[in-house]
Amino acid sequence: MGGETPRVGLGIDIGGSGIKGAPVDLHTGSFLAERKKISTPRPTTPEAVAGVASEIADAFSDHLAAGAPVGAAFPGVIRQGVARSASNVARSWIGTDVEQLLSDSTGHRVRAMNDADAAAVAEHRYGAAHGASGLVLMTTLGTGIGTALLLDGALVPNTELGHLEIDGHDAETRAAASAKDREGLSYRQWTTERLQRYYSTVENLLWPELIVVGGGVSREAQEFLPFLRLRTPVRAAQLRNTAGIVGAAVRAVERCAN
């Protein structure tokens, strides 16, 4: 594999605090250049974000052929390229054709997908879920709880299991990493009092073969995963915060090739 010419895709991950992108070697899932990160503009309107996406694409023009596909990971539901929800970005995104907007701004064919879905694709291709069969649940713990499902490697898109109602609450308002920080919980308190309840509920609904835990807090996985008591194997994401970029690039190239 080391002698292969890289197949390259550009991934852009749109987040509530930062927008980041990098060219990805699709053979290995590794970056071909240091990622570029730009603070998410305020307000987070489609037009403002499109300008940042264009800046990121321009920064890596030397790595991309003219018109090469670009993948965008978006914090919300994406159906047929259109945003149907918006988490941590302006509500004016809802109803926006994300693919057309970003294609116009970058000059590349853009394929958009939910950010947790992108992370799941990357972890299955290169990371903690590589080679896993059956039903795999990917969760990203951050400001909210992003979720994705893979069935024998095939993506079931746009699940919103972070918004399950558990004990009368939207689950992510109590179990996301932001709740831990907001309420000053220790890792053990957060896990035993919040995450355990969330993952037990989802486990009993889905009976997955594997749960992968991602998001920025996965860097500290050893501080909280050992406290979970589940029948399902649980693994920390390997690609961590690069997963959205990588998965978006993979899907964009695959979709444009078909």
CA gap 191, 48 in Å, rounded: 37
Which residues have a Cβ under 8 Å from the Cβ of 115 and sit 6 or more positions away? Answer: 13, 14, 15, 73, 74, 75, 140, 146, 244
Which residues on adjacent β-strands are paired with residue 30?
25
Phi, psi of 20 (to 5 degrees): -135, 150
pLDDT 10s digits, 4-36: 555 899 999 999 889 999 999 999 999 999 999
pLDDT 10s digits, 159-195: 999 999 999 999 999 999 999 999 999 999 999 999 9
**Residue 80 tokens, joined:** 């047929």
- 132-237 and 8-117+242-257 share a CATH fold: yes
CATH of domain 8-117+242-257: 3.30.420.40
Q: Which pLDDT score is estimated for 5?
A: 52
Q: Which pLDDT score is estimated for 4?
A: 52
Nearest C-alpha neighbor of 117 from the set 79, 143, 166: 79
pLDDT above 70: residue 3: no
User: Across the chain, what does the average pLDDT equal?
Assistant: 94
pLDDT 10s digits, 48-89: 999 999 999 999 999 988 778 999 999 999 999 999 999 789
Assess whether the previous peptide bond of 43 is cis (omega < 30° from 0): yes
Give the β-pairing of 70-74 and 110-114. parallel
DSSP state of 192: I
CA gap 7, 23 in Å, rounded: 10
Which residues on adjacent β-strands are paired with residue 149?
137, 156
pLDDT 10s digits, 81-122: 999 999 789 999 999 999 999 999 999 999 999 999 999 999
Residue % of the chain over a pLDDT of 90: 88
Which residues have a Cβ under 8 Å from the Cβ of 59 and sit 6 or more positions away? Answer: 21, 36
pLDDT above 60: residue 228: yes
* Residue reference for tokens 């988490």: 87
Which residues on adjacent β-strands are paired with residue 154?
151
Geometric angle at alpha carbon 120, from 253 and 252, rounded to 5°: 15
**Residue 205 tokens, joined:** 């609904």
Q: Which pLDDT score is estimated for 2?
A: 47
Which residues have a Cβ under 8 Å from the Cβ of 3 and sit 6 or more positions away? Answer: none
CA gap 224, 206 in Å, rounded: 22
Q: What is the largest CA-CA distance in the chain?
A: 55
CATH of domain 132-237: 3.30.420.40
CA gap 6, 109 in Å, rounded: 19
Rg (CA), the chain: 18
Geometric angle at alpha carbon 78, from 68 and 113, rounded to 5°: 40
Q: Residue 151 — very low, low, confident or very high, per pLDDT cuts 50/70/90?
A: very high
Domain ranges (residues) in the chain? 8-117+242-257, 132-237
Residue type, 249: A
